[in-house]
Structure 1
């Protein structure tokens, strides 16, 4: 495989991964009133289809980034595309709100694998001559996804095709899988033996779940929401205590906080 073909395939895989993961963050928002009526449920339960996706994405993106370094970014993005594609198909086949929520959580796991690998695929596999434009493409995908999502969701609902909100992803997933498979079979990646910080990952996941759940419940169940936000702050303190003496903490910002010279620099600027 020549360098130009490799660069183009990597950009396609990374771009599709970032587009899909950001697109589905907001495409379902406009459909929540419809799902409330269609599945005969409450607004709070219907909203879990959004928060469930966001929580699973946020919880898994950090450990997936470490795992992709260890087992290969292309392999991990390939798995992410499969999970995302299958869960998108199943979301559209959901017969009740419980099924939709469950498959949206799995979709968020696939999105985490895609987001965790998209940027690193470009920085590690794209040639130096093409890297600037490739990063620019990725930036466009990051911006287009959240903006395009609500518009496409509204259009599909107006056409009486709520299942299309999820099935819209499948052609892009198939294209990504074809390009990804081509890359896996013809090029080799550098892999790094990294220690996976399970206690840090679990504590960070708990923090994310508590914080996002608390914020989502503030308007409807304010007391519960505030309690969860307070619990998330406690989880941050625990996370700091768990990670502060580790050489490779799961949350790199802890190292930045402990770097006094960086704090002085930020203060001075």
Structure 2
């Protein structure tokens, strides 16, 4: 019997939930680095996005001692928020949880969603991934699709916690970037985005064709449309992409993450220093895409 991609996503997610960690007291959740696309689908449609999975940014939840539920480490969630979230999943936890994260809160890298996903797994969650997504949205009003194994292959309604479409895989590419400007946590009531209805079929066709330059151009268009609409200050990312010969650029549409998209092994040697000179912080480099 043929299997659809949605089933593959769910089955892979279930396998990941059941696979024991190297340390059963630790839960590790990878973040993302902004969005390849984000906007509304139609003037009255939902806010939708394609997340850029980032394996080098992650959050770690460590179960420590104690007889009562407490939160320690990075201040990402409030205790009340965490308790309400766990109750919504029928879970409880009587341990101290220490959060350590490589992603800045408000950077557009998914720190709060990663914390909720790690917390659920720390409390023994083994339910379906859709239920976890719904609980994350109920807790925060919006969610990144970090609970899925291949979030970059989803067109995701972030305010509803729903998959709108399965997407073809992107070809392999490389990103170098950092964080620019002030941190900004997502406001779930904020829907002031451009319309990307026309970009979605173009994205699907370019991904099916393995056309990385076109995909990078579409990501750049989404980034610039959002910056034009929302940013109060000049942003150097587009100019840096041109100067360094990048195929395009990507941003956190409600955060500080900024990145340049290159074909693998084509990042100039001086790219990191150019980003630092432009005011980028916490420079990082990673590969994405591929099967």
Q: TM-score, normalised by structure 2?
A: 0.23
Which gives a bigger RCO, structure 1 or 2 (Cα 8 Å, sep 6+)?
1
Instruction: Kindly indicate which of the two structures has a greater share of residues assigned to helix.
Output: 1
By percentage of residues, which structure has more strand? Answer: 2
